[in-house]
Structure 1
Amino acid sequence: MTVSAHPRRLTGYAHGGGCACKIPPGELEAVVADLFAGDPPPDAAGELLVGLDDGDDAAVVRLADGRGIVLTTDFFTPVVDDPYDWGRIAAANALSDVYAMGGTPLVAVNLLAWPRDALPMELAREVLRGGLDVARLAGCHVAGGHSVDDPEPKYGMAVTGLVDPGRLMRNDAARPGQPLSLTKPLGLGVLNNRHKATGEVFPEAVATMATVNRWAAEAAVAAGVRAATDVTGFGLLGHLYKMARASGVTAVVDAAAVPYLAGARESLRDGYVPGGSRRNLDWVRPHTDLGRFDETEALLLADAQTSGGLLLAGEVDGAPVIGEFVKRGDRPLVIR
């Protein structure tokens, strides 16, 4: 652990950080309820396989030739002070939605908001360079994008990918008897919050966020996994609740099996809890049997992640099994 040496702390220009800045899930669902209901356009060029119904990670359209197109977008305020690392993290996060559907990213365009009178454009270039390097690692083209002058810096990507509709992973396909696996450790929210407040740098957290979910997704598709989602701003409990609700099952989490980054529990103990994590817990609490666990453990499980791992209804090498899906009970989430 070191302290940020950057003379301009990007996180100081943001009211929050990363995916913790998401609109609370309950509020968002109320806003979009029935907004896209109704028949598809009569002259639509393809069939919408995955839309807004269950709040999945990306939209999927099947073309006339049988191929599937995956479309998603994601952007957020600075989660770290290093502009290159922020670019890498934001790109990995945007690409993750395609991987969560079992797809392959094809092309991305940048989305950049920049306070040009407050921050040098050289820093913006570093952000874009970080995003480009991660996209190249994923084998994804980057072709331009859009930028605006904004008092608060934001960066991300809109990504289009390809997917085999017959091997699609979605959040409504979990079934009783399937194991629940997680491909990245938790704790990113509290560590990022500590970084924003103190300048302390957590290299393991940065490396985790900048790691693309490409290999985890490829392993899951090869293993026949058909239900998945990624863990971002709504935390493990929030995204798992959406998955269990959409699938009509109960997800049972073995809290002792959940992996955490070094320093996460200490950061929680010291009070570095993002507001988004508390909102996540408030949202899922009525739908969750917390058993013997107190607020502390529940907040870690609900911690708002940025560029987290995949939650899989199945097993892949290297990903710990943290629970199982069972027949729907009184509540869609149970913590043991």
Structure 2
Amino acid sequence: MTDLDETPGADGDTNGTAGAGGAAGLDARLVVDRGSFHLDVALSAAPGDVVALLGPNGAGKTTALRALAGLVPLAGGGSLRLDGTVLDRRPPEHRPVGVVFQDYLLFPHLSALDNVAFGPRCQGAGKAAARAAAADWLERMGLSEHANAKPRRLSGGQAQRVALARALATRPRLLLLDEPLAALDARTRLDVRAQLRRHLAEFEAVAVLVTHDPLDAMVLADRLVVIEHGQVVQEGTPSEIARRPRTDYIARLVGLNLYRGAADGHTVALDAGPSVTSTEELDGPVFVAFPPSAVTLYAERPEGSSARNLWRCEVAGMESHGDLVRADLTGELALTADLTTVAAAELDLHPGAAVWATVKAAQTHAYPA
């Protein structure tokens, strides 16, 4: 893995197709013991897949990425196969892995061209061939005119693309991206996210992305793996995760109110106390979710409202949320509600204010737990 060590890779056979008798792609069980923290995460992906690891701070995302890179040893029961080849005991520099770090870690004394040429040089390519390959990658990234620029002369978005080119120039079979957009400002992030999505769509091997940003994950990844406390708690496509979150963390991530309860037909008795009416007809343990935008607030108990769900609440806090005001409510049911600044002013919302919250049954979504 030439981004991490200057020693040339000794096992060039893994840069191509699957090893003898093995399937192409990634097949790993990442088991790591670090004091009181235990990670046990199974990951599999086919060539061309982009997998995003999501989770709260301390969940184990970065540890998983470092285990894939070979920077953290696997404990008993752990395994790592890439294109059918066992990589468990290979040192980082002998793995067909490319890494894009959060802060890019470009060599400050080298030009953009020589930063990208570094990988091929470490793999044994001659100087002219390595620089030719680097020039080709910079052209693909739209950076040809910056080939001679040192990192300090590059913008954040340009540095990110140089780091990506440097990782891809080694023709990795596994590309690891550690918060690749975190160091960018909001405007640059928008542009670079779109460019990165295009480059990842063209990548023919496996890519694993670690991010805290749900939008990065939804835009860049084909599949999401959510980790909490060192374990996988949910995985699926972005649309599956967004539609059916299974933990409070995921619900907050995708912007939903989420509750667990027991369904009897269209009525769900929540573990949190009250009941919710839903259009789905289910029986047994379920989750119920609805977006903050589905909540309507009233200063007085509404008469004649068509909403089947009505709770008396109290405003616990308020904050700006884009063009809206997000209110955190406690009371009969703890929930969040989004409303316009005009509506918040008309209701005279403030911490401690009493309100009635309603949600139409058609705006809830119930699914088996």
Structure whose residues are more often strand by fraction: 2
Structure whose residues are more often helix by fraction: 1
TM-score using structure 2 length: 0.24
TM-score using structure 1 length: 0.25
Which has the higher Rg, Structure 1 or Structure 2?
Answer: 2
Compare relative contact order (CA 8 Å, sep 6+) and give the higher one, 1 or 2.
1
